[in-house]
Structure 1
Amino acid sequence: MDGTEERDPRLNAPDRLPEHVKEVWDEIVATNDLAGTVDRQALEAFCYLVARLRQAQARIEDEGMVVRDSRGKVQPHPALEVERKLADQIRAWGDRFAPLVKPTRKRGYMADATASAIANSPHLQGDAGKKYAGLIAAARTQAWLIDEAQRDSMEALNDAVIKIMPQYIKACSELQITPAALSAGAAPEPPKQDKGVSGGGNVSSFQERANRRRQAG
């Protein structure tokens, strides 16, 4: 984040975490579009694993890979075994908290708007939203591609509108984060027609109203 974007408060690290664990938390949040849907307890556990792995690696770096025991016998540094076990545990998490894209990617309007819409849709949160995980990832990726095309050139943007936008709109509709996805009962009422004027919003009605205003003036 560049300091100008306001982060979802649900993504803030718990105050109880030590500073070195908070640093890991912030790194993961900054490189992964979690959008407030993250399992905070799982993320906290993962951050502790990464932080402890880094501590073990730092100790090995400072003290070397071998040490002498109380009898003067040279043996592998105990932190090597700690490092191995922590690395195995971290690998067991797979790509759950891995960055979806390169950390250096630029943010854009489409990606931010999509993340905000998802974060503010109750049916996409928690356990209920897990079944939409793939579709959510697809919509975010498509939004990012549209942003990238816009940054590239008008030709690239036109190409994205033709090839990517229809898929993006379909994904949003299936996720129910577009007006078109609302149920009939929840659909907004159409604009009321001007009583006594034929067509309400067509060209002839606008002309008639304009003529009446001129005559009244």
Structure 2
Amino acid sequence: MPAAARPAPRLPGDVFIWYVILLEGATFCVLFGAFAFTRVRHLELFNAAQQQLDLSAGAINTALLLTASWCVARAVLAVRGGTRGTALGWLAAGMAGGAGFVGLKLKEYGDKFDQGIGLGQDNLFFDFYFILTGFHLLHVLAGLLALGLVGVGLMRQRRDALNGHALETAAAFWHLVDLLWLVLFPSSTSCGDCDETEAA
């Protein structure tokens, strides 16, 4: 395509959502930094506590979020192609992945509470664990709400005049949720010095 005919590059969705994304990203960076700083000062405690996490559940949650994001991206492409039914199907699949993440995360919390592990139990690792994952879970719920509202809006639009702006906006936020988890999951479960700690 000639350069003159190419559409000008643009950020998908509403510009406001990108300010939200930057703000939320900066907030999580501060939290991740505090987690890393505290871990260095309490390495043995963090390594021991990390052994109590269910890595398989975290891996399944990662797969659920990645799949959900892929489905949401397919929904955006479907709207751009003018196929509302396909877009709604992909959107529903993405929301199902997100709902699966919520259900599994709540089960993890329940298992921890049954073991007597909770927030404010004089364990800095689990304080960070519940704060970071809980804050992320709130973002997942907000993302699901946004996707649901967008889906309702799509159903009300005329088939021959689909507008994907709202869906692109919600999708941008949803991809932030996905990205945050990709940083959060390995940082909260990595235990590179566990062998050395256990041998000491």
* Bigger helix share: 2
The TM-score normalised by the length of structure 1 is: 0.28
Task: Between the two structures, name the one with larger relative contact order (CA 8 Å, sep ≥ 6).
Answer: 2
The TM-score normalised by the length of structure 2 is: 0.30
Give 1 or 2 for the bigger CA radius of gyration: 1
